[in-house]
Every structure is written in C-alpha cells, then in structure tokens.
Amino acid sequence: MTVTWRHLPAPAREIAVAATAAVEAAQARDSAAYDGAVPRLAGADRAGLVLGGVVRLLLEQAHPDGLDSDDVRQVLERCVRAAATWRPDVDPHVVLVLLAGALGVYDPGDDDTPPAPAAVAAHVPLLVVDLLAVTGVPFAGCLEAAFAEVARTERHDD
C-alpha cells in the first residue's frame, strides 16, 4: 500500500515523501535511488527532528524495558555492518550521534562537531531500516507517530 501523505501540511508532506523515498531505497539496498533520495531528505526542513522521533519510537519498540550501553553498541554494530555491505561510506560515528540524539543524551561539547545535515540525511534512513527490520513495525505508522509527537511538543512549547 502506498501512502500519499496528502493529509499533511506541505512542509510535513515534503519530509514524509523524502523520508519514505530514502527508507524504501535503503530497504531495497538501491544505491542509485538512495543517492537520489538523500539530498531531498537533507533539504527538507526539520526532517532530522521528525526522523529522530522515528528512531526513538523504534528503539522503544525494540527495547521496551530500556536500553543499556550494550544494547546501544549492539544497535550501532548491527546497523553499520548491514549498511556497509552496500554503503561502504557509512560512518559509525554519525550513527552513534543519531542514536544518542534520539535518546536525548547527545551533547557535542567542545570536542565534537555535530554531523552536517547531509551526513544525518545519509545515515538516519540506514538506522531506521535496521530498526524496522528488528521491530517489524511499518514505517508509515512510525512516521505518523513522530509527526504527532512533534506537533504535541510544539503545542506545549507555545
């Protein structure tokens, strides 16, 4: 079933379309499609926030009792190893930053520069695909839930 995302406002729809294209390309391990989808995802305003929510939701599904450092290491290793079979440019540090950011524990401090939006866009679909495979949760449902969480947070911040 193809989701059209017509019910979303234009900025959210752009995130949904770009993210879906990147995730589907990653699931198919289609490098050409992935290389075409990632720049669109990188250009979608607030995509990182929404996809961080997707990663957090998937981590909660995969680890309902919480994550410890061994769980994080296992997710990182599994994701990087799987992605490296078709994306030799996968950067474990970027995946680790994405995991830490989704868990709310990433602090770049003085010694670390956050990954560029292009690097985030190139890596977050790889992490999402890994977690989707583990949880069996449909991507569209996770994306909808992440949009709802962002909207809820924005309403409470106003």
Would you give the DSSP letter of residue 8? S
Picking from 151, 127, 141, the residue whose alpha carbon sits closest to that of residue 59 is 127
pLDDT of residue 39: 97
Picking from 123, 131, 115, 35, the residue whose alpha carbon sits closest to that of residue 74 is 131
Every domain of the chain and the residues it spans: 10-157
More confident: 68 or 109: 68
- What is the residue type of 93? H
- Which of 2-11, 31-40, 69-78, 86-95 shows the lowest mean pLDDT across its residues? 2-11
Question: Highest mean pLDDT: which of 25-29, 100-104, 139-143?
Answer: 25-29
The rounded percent of the chain whose pLDDT value lies above 90 is: 73
pLDDT in tens, 11-65: 889 999 999 999 999 999 999 999 999 999 999 988 988 999 999 999 999 999 9
Contact between 98 and 53 under an 8 Å Cβ cutoff? The reply is no
SS3 letters across 39-97: HHHHHCCCHHHHHHHHHHHHHHHHCCCCCCHHHHHHHHHHHHHHHHCCCCCCCHHHHHH
Residues 59, 109, 39, 50: is their CA dihedral positive or negative?
A: positive
